[in-house]
Structure 1
Amino acid sequence: MQIREAAAEDWPRIWPFWHRIVAAGETYTWDRDTSEEAARSLWMNPAKQVYVVEDETGAIVASAFVTPNYGGPAAGIANAGFMVDPDLAGRGIGRALAGHVVEAARGAGYRGMVFNAVVETNPAVKLWLSLGFEILGTVPEAFDHPRHGRVGLHVMYRAL
C-alpha cells in the first residue's frame, strides 16, 4: 500500500466509503445525511493536510486529514480524522495511516494531537490507545448510537 497526499481528483474515490461510514452513524458526529458537497468541503478543506492510502491496484482504500485543533497560541495542537473502507477493516491499513499522520503532524511542528469526540464504542479506541493516546475524559451519553443507544464521547490526546 502507498500513503500519499490527496489531490482534488481523489475525492470521487474517497466519497463512497466516507458516505458509508458517516451514514452508518456509529463513529462520526457528523450528520448522517451529509451531502456530498458538504462532505467534500469538510474533508478536503484547503486548511487540512489530507492523505489517501492506495492499495496495490491503485484503489483508494482509506483517507485521513491533519489540521490545527485550535487557533492562535494553541495552534500547535493538531486534530485528525481517519476513514478506512469498512470492507477492509482489520488489515492494518488504519494503523499504517495513523502512524503516517502522527509523523506528518510531528514533522509539521505540532506539539500534540487531540481527538475531540471519539465514540467510546468505536473499535479504533484500542488502536489510539496502542499508539500512545490517552483518554483525558469522557462526555457521558453524548452520542446517540444506532445500536448501543446513548454512549460517551472520549477526548483523547497524545504528545508529539
Structure 2
Amino acid sequence: MTEIVVRPATLLDWEAIHPIFEQVVSEGETYAYPPSSTSDEARELWMERAPGLTVVAELHGAIVGTAKMGPNRPGHGDHIGTASFMVDRAARGAGIGRRLGEYVIDWHRRQGFEGIQFNAVVASNHAAVHLWTSLGFEIVGTVPGAFRSPRHGRVGLHVMFLPI
C-alpha cells in the first residue's frame, strides 16, 4: 500500500495547492468560495495562521490534497475546532480525504480542542457526508436550500459535529 504523507504546508506549497483550490471551487459543488478569486485572495482564504494550520497530503511525492484547521470561533468558542478539505479530482477515491480527516481529528485532540464542528457540508456531497459519518461525525442540523449547486439546484448545508 502506498503511504499518503500529510505534513504542514509552507508558502512554497501554494503553487501546488492553488490548482487544487481552483479545481474544487470552479466545480461549484462543495464550497461557496468565489470562483473568481485571484491566487492571492485564495491563499488568504486557505492558508491558516496560528493557532490554525494548513496541511498537504502527498502521494508519490506529489501534493494531491490539502486541509486547513483551527478554532471554529474566537473567544468563548475557541474550544471547538473546524476544518476544510480539498482533494485533487485525479486522486479522489484513493483514501486522501480519509487520511486528511484522521490527521485533522488527531491534531485537534493534541491541541486540546473539545470537539470539531463542520459548519457547511453540502448535503449533495454524499462522499464527504459518508466519510465524516464513518469517522464519527453526526449531522446535528441542516440549513435547507443554503447552497446553490450547479448540478442539484438548492441543497441543504449540514452542520456536523464530533466530540473529542
Q: Structure 2: which 5+ runs fail to align?
A: none
Q: Which secondary structure state, in structure 2, belongs to the residue aligned with residue 124 of structure 1?
A: helix
The answer on 1:53 being equivalent to 2:57 is yes
The TM-score, its normalising length taken from structure 1, stands at: 0.96
Number of residue pairs the alignment of both structures matches: 159
Q: Which amino acid aligns with 1:130?
A: S
Superposed counterparts of 1:30-49, under 5 Å: 30-47=33-50, 48-49=52-53
1:151 lines up with 2:149 in the alignment: no
Is this contact kept in 1: 2:48–2:68, CA < 8 A? Answer: no
Q: TM-score, normalised by structure 2?
A: 0.94
Asked if structure 2 preserves the Cα contact closer than 8 Å seen for 1:29 and 1:117, the reply is no
- For residues 1-160 of structure 1, the aligned pairs below 5 Å read 1-47=4-50, 48-56=52-60, 58-122=61-125, 123-160=127-164
Q: In 1, distance between residues paired with 2:32 and 2:141?
A: 17
* Distance across 2 between alignment mates of 1:67 and 1:34: 22
Q: Give identity over the alignment, percent.
A: 48
SS in 2 for 1:27: coil
TM superposition outliers: structure 1 runs of 4+ over 3 Å: none
> How much does 1:12 deviate?
0.5
Considering only aligned residues, what root-mean-square deviation do their CA atoms show, in Å?
A: 0.9
Unaligned runs of 5+ in 1: none
